[in-house]
Amino acid sequence: MRNLDKVNAAVKSTRSIFIIALIIPIIMGLSGWALADGAVPDIALAQNYLAISGLLICALAVASAAIAYLFKWEWKAKYYGAGFVSFASGSILGIYPILCIVIYGAWPLWARLGFLVLHFFLIVWWCRRFFLIYRDIFTDKKLRDSIYQEEEDAVYYLQQGDKIVIEKTLKFPQFPSNKFVIFFMVAAVLLAPYMRIVSNFVGVPFTQIFLAVSMTPVNLVFLGLATKMWLVFYHYPSKIKLETGKDVYVDMVSKMTKNARDE
């Protein structure tokens, strides 16, 4: 068994990663509450279910801190990935404004639903790319062995191997292109001079409209990374466990050994 405390010495422990990562859903949950409340300030909190959901996300993140002390946090993939899956909450700054427009906006129902469906399919398309690329990696023995290295006592997820395969071998873009980001940022900025007209047309404050447009690439970044984390730390480790009976551990530093490459 590798001495992963020594190998991964740059990080104190999986517990510390999990606790630090909880900052994201705490901040984003509060942000979601503020955005939902600001969209319809005349509605009481008890009737604003979107705002309540933001507070629940925040409360759940705070309560989850206790989980860090309920388990023996080893370098198993399921523990290491626990903190990173919370990356999905980083999309709240973009998702909640979209939901504010859909739930509280002045557009006809068909227009609001169309707006929601458009964003939904954009997110599904983006996240599906990660499913497909890792499916291809997992079914290719050479690529799979570059990321998941099996040894006598365990299987090791090689973070550096993953990076090499994704970025150099397959050249898979994990983030939206610069043109994509600039397009949505410019579109949001161009609406600013007409904020009052746009706000009256959409039916929610301009802040929510600006974020719904400008944060679209950010939604994809956080949800795409969360999808990747779920795949490499939960989905495929569970498959490996069924196939080999071995747990998957995280090695943040090592690359695939020469002997393994030659097999």
Distance CA 82, CA 19 (A): 10
How confident is the model over 235-246, as pLDDT tens digits?
A: 999 999 999 999
Residue range 32-52: mean pLDDT, rounded:
94
Residue range 144-167: mean pLDDT, rounded:
93
Distance CA 219, CA 195 (A): 23
Total structural domains within the chain: 1
Residue range 79-106: mean pLDDT, rounded:
91
**Percent helix, strand and coil across the chain, each rounded to 5?**
75, 5, 20
Whether pLDDT at 205 is above 60: yes
Q: Give CA separation, 75 vs 79, 111, 144, 147, 242, in Å.
A: 7, 48, 20, 16, 19
Question: pLDDT band at residue 224, thresholds of 50, 70 and 90?
Answer: very high
How confident is the model over 115-154, as pLDDT tens digits?
A: 999 999 999 999 999 999 999 999 999 999 999 999 888 9
Token code pair at residue 179: 């043109």
How many Cβ atoms from other residues are within 10 Å of residue 46's Cβ? 8
Q: Which domain holds residue 135?
A: 4-262
Token code pair at residue 198: 């746009």
pLDDT at 66: 82
pLDDT at 259: 42
Residue range 197-213: mean pLDDT, rounded:
96
pLDDT at 84: 82
Whether pLDDT at 248 is above 70: yes
* 91 in Cβ contact with 30 (< 8 Å): no
Whether pLDDT at 16 is above 80: no
Distance CA 92, CA 124 (A): 16
How confident is the model over 49-66, as pLDDT tens digits?
A: 999 999 999 999 999 888
